A and B are shown apart, each in its own frame.
Chain A
Amino acid sequence: MSDVYVIGIDMIKFGRFPETSVPKLGATAAHLALDDAGLTINDIQALYSGNLGQAGAMVGQRILAEIGQTGIPVVNCANACATGATAFREGWMSIKAGVYDMVLCVGTEQMGKGLLGGGGGGKGIPTEGLLGSSTMPAIFAEAGMEHQRKYGTTFEQFAKVSVKNHHHSTLNPKAMYQIETPLETVMGAEMISYPNTKLMCSVNVDGAAAVVICSEEKARQLGKMDRAVRVKASVLTSDPYQERNLQMPDVNTCTQRAAKAAYEMAGVGPEDIDLVELHDCFATAEILHYGNLGLGKPEDAGRMVDEGETALGGRIPVNVSGGLLSKGHPLGATGIANIYEVSTHLRGEAGERQVEGARFGMTHVIGLGSACAIHVLEKVD
């Protein structure tokens, strides 16, 4: 089986674009990725499209209507916040299987403002605020409190994650925000769901990211190896049965399992990874995943953020893009935008926020309910 290579990748600057449409956002990103690869839609054999909000509305085909209806097969993917990464993985598998040798993967989302989650509806009375909370901030607050219960992690340590990621995004022109948020600002912001304040919740934004991936033979044939990035591992898991996970979604076990499988597939360990883009949908979540991804011991996660180990310039920089907390979190685009960030560092093209000498990078997303996708990427010498 051929290795799979990223040969063109890009994202739009995340923001709020209510005047445009999901297919137009996707088309913009697709053109950016094709331009990065020096190719056209006529070179592409299949499209894997990730979008959550319009999952029933053939977004991939509507993107092709904007950029060229070449008649290629289209697969539309929805997998909560793992949607973009799932579309990427479907494309990766098609090349691994030898069905195609060059495909396009696009992730898009157009979001409103405000709280996600809650659900309910149907018969009877609404149970939000009566039988606890099903909002995303509350669910991830409770997941963070589990870490506090086990390891003593503090509100201040959770808040420091947000200080770090907002700082990182000041170096990323494609992030939604480029604003420093000192610790007292983060801790003093409106409390949404203790211990997550407003500045510890990811930003709902519109966004799109796209990538062209191909086989090794194709990359060599096209002369694209000099900026190519090798996909060393692609893993997708769901959450196995856990004692509480039917009442309290478990984002830990599926991540631990995916990380173990990804390290095995890539033939590397956590000590080999130079940067990580992980699913910081809330500041509490980032802390959980230091341990889950093997970046440190779970009980050391609070200390790692205290001592700057996961900041740019630290032992293992995490979310140097600004993360979902400050770059923004357009659900279906996030999983490909993370791959863009890591690829940009491996290509040595990340400018002011470049992780020097980056050779291996990891991306991680969680779709609540739950899906975990992890990719390990390698610089090509």
Chain B
Amino acid sequence: MNSSTHTVALDAPKSTNPPASGPNTARLKQLFSQYKMLALLIAIALIWAFFAWKTQGGFLSPRNFSNLLRQMSITGMLACGMVFVIISGEIDLSVGSLLGLLGGVAAVLDVIYKVPLPLNIAIVLGLGVLIGLFNGYWTAYLRVPSFIVGLGGMLAFRGILLGVTGGLTIAPVSEGLVWFGQGYLSTLVGDGLALAMFALLVFITWRQRQNRTKYGLPLAPLWRDAAKVIAYGVGIVAFVKVLNAYDGIPVPVLILLVLLGVFTYIANQTVFGRRIYAVGSNMEATRLSGVNVQGVKLAIFGLMGLMCALAGLVNTARMAAGSPSAGNMGELDAIAACFIGGTSMRGGSGTVLGALIGALVMASLDNGMSMLDVDTYWQMIVKGSILVLAVWVDVVSRSGRR
């Protein structure tokens, strides 16, 4: 697929003679990440096949598939924010506690103060952004290493949560809030969404082709783009069909899918996204190029806080209660998901999709081993080993390339 990548020399002016198979194949870096993605998908397939075999297919039933996706949604939301934090060369250890705190606040506002749901959500999301910015300010402007800021937050936020809830579980939360964690879309809405997504896909591809024509850039052959659109279309339909075969698309999964789209868009299409990668790859060079690197970091932490708030809301809704232990070790799951998903430890590279597949790997292990009644201690040992193995494979393949 990329045989022509190396042969095209751009030494002549205006020599835009493209690789015959289209400009996308020239995106060598993207290719590497695609291979990485492929390896991840193969890993998932192996894990799923193993559990399906052990559970006589029970693992792959629509019901369990739905469960699995709901289980990963909380970690996935955190991983969406965390992947940017890690790409920018930082880390945030406070997200588990912050998730718990914001979920607890949501429960307290709902159960004790009977705050209307929209206001409640607005308050919690706003609070999340503020606390995230607070963390970011300590890291970017006051130059306390983010590891320490996170460690401090991990203790302090959990402490505040215990104080706010008095160490008690706050229940029962209102129906409306619970819907965000336990609700399903009706099959009709699901089908409609699938159709809308497919239409969007067609539209984006068409727009891209138009733009490239407008600027005189090389175009991929039409059949290629068409095949791509159809392949994605089949994927979308299969996904919705399976979920509709149970109760429909779970609301948390829908939220996660929207986040995947938004965060991928931010990473690939926006100025802010490009700067996240630049800051993580070489902060000094980026600063000397006239980028406000502190501002970029501040915004990344703000976004992380927002994701904690969202994850906290969904978590409270899922359990229909605010628990003082909510989100315990959540930060480690999120960080592990990012690293399994191929995010570079030294910053500068990584993808949102990778991080979510990483979260799916973790959730699959959890879910499958629970189905097999594996002892908790074994589950922890297996998850820990998989994390180290995954990163080792990444390190080996990286060093082999240079």
Q: Do A and B bind each other?
A: no
Task: Report B's interface with A, CB cutoff 8 A.
Answer: none
Contacts from A to B (Cβ < 8 Å): none
